[in-house]
């Protein structure tokens, strides 16, 4: 396990949770972190594919994933959250499309975090940090994320 805790965004849940055959959300999240959080706004963004929503619900039921929001913060934490949210919203959100990037802003305002992308997870697998997965599964994960198999084979993890 790489981390004690992490917070996830809708994009990764949708991309890696899109396959019924390969339930990568349920496989990867518990391998990467002991506890996984998802902001209410982000959780509500994940509607389709159904397999992604089902995997999130399974992780919630198993206690690996927890839905969070600012309602349960202390008064001091709420003030800090609101200030951070305001600052992030000014640079990340479009006034003409107020829901664009809202999940990211809520998640970032909720925690001091490092951002890991699909490629970072692939490298964690390649380097043996997530040793229950292999190259073949990594390539499937890469492809499910809409990435080029050719780039995977030639640049990310050459044979």
Residue-by-residue pLDDT tens, the chain, 159 positions: 679 999 999 999 999 999 999 999 999 999 999 999 999 999 999 999 999 999 999 999 999 999 999 998 889 889 989 998 998 888 888 888 888 889 988 988 887 756 778 998 999 999 999 989 999 999 999 999 999 999 999 999 998
pLDDT of residue 98: 80
pLDDT of residue 92: 87
Question: If you classify domain 3-116 with CATH, what class do you get?
Answer: alpha beta
Interhelix angle 118-126/24-32, rounded to 10 degrees, is: 70
pLDDT of residue 50: 97
pLDDT of residue 100: 86
Delimit the domains of the chain by residue range: 3-116, 118-159
- Tell me the C-alpha distance between 11 and 121, whole Å: 14
């Amino acid at each position: 396990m790489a981390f004690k805790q992490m917070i996830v965004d809708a994009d990764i849940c949708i991309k890696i949770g899109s396959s019924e055959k390969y339930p990568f959300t349920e496989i990867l999240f518990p391998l990467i972190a002991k506890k996984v959080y998802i902001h209410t706004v982000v959780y509500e963004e994940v509607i389709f594919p159904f397999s992604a929503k089902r995997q999130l619900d399974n992780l919630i039921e198993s206690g690996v994933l927890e839905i969070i929001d600012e309602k349960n913060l202390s008064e001091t934490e709420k003030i800090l959250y609101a200030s951070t949210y305001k600052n992030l919203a000014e640079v990340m959100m479009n006034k003409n499309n107020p829901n664009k990037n809202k999940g990211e802003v809520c998640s970032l305002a909720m925690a001091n975090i490092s951002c890991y992308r699909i490629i970072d997870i692939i490298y964690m697998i390649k380097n043996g940090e997530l040793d229950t997965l292999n190259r073949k599964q990594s390539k499937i994960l890469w492809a499910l994320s809409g990435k080029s198999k050719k780039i995977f084979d030639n640049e990310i993890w050459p044979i």
